[in-house]
Amino acid sequence: MIEEMETQAMQQNTSQNVLVRQIIQKYLQWDRFAESIAMIPIPKSILQTMGNDMTATDIDMIVESVKPIIKDNVMFMKGKYDLKRCIEALEDYIQATGMHSDHRVEGSLHHFIVQHGLGIKWSLFTEQLLKEIFHEFLPEKNVRCQTTDSTVIATMSLGSDFNEHEY
């Protein structure tokens, strides 16, 4: 195991300590819950193929189907269901699956960026899901989205002191 860790750290151009820290962090944020919430890995190519045939109705149906599942999983993983915990859990999921996310703040505006690389239909799904999650907690707030084949940016005003990691 040590030799494999050394090789992996070298390939990633990082220290073994950093690699071990990353592994432990991923375990604590996601992997320890994965079996309990019945997560199964699905190859990206399968999701890409499935997305090609999705209609707007399919996207609506999937969003409505996953919202209660997300709520249950956030409650289990974070101990409560609110906007901050929901965003944090989604960030943990995105990171665990190898996709990329970022949260950038410009004054009171918050930009939640998701880069998935799954195609436009999954971008539309992601956009709709983010809008519905934000609307659930902040129905009076407007969410603006910029969407491409591989990236969604959801922007809304949450104030300069909003931090999903502080709850």
pLDDT at 45: 92
Q: Which residues contact 7 (CB under 8 A, 6 or more apart)?
A: none
> What is this structure's pTM?
0.83
Q: How confident is the model at residue 30 (pLDDT cuts 50, 70, 90)?
A: confident
pLDDT at 29: 86
CA angle in degrees (0–180, nearest 5) for 27-124-127: 60
Q: How far apart are CA 145 and CA 154, in angstroms?
A: 4
pLDDT at 98: 85
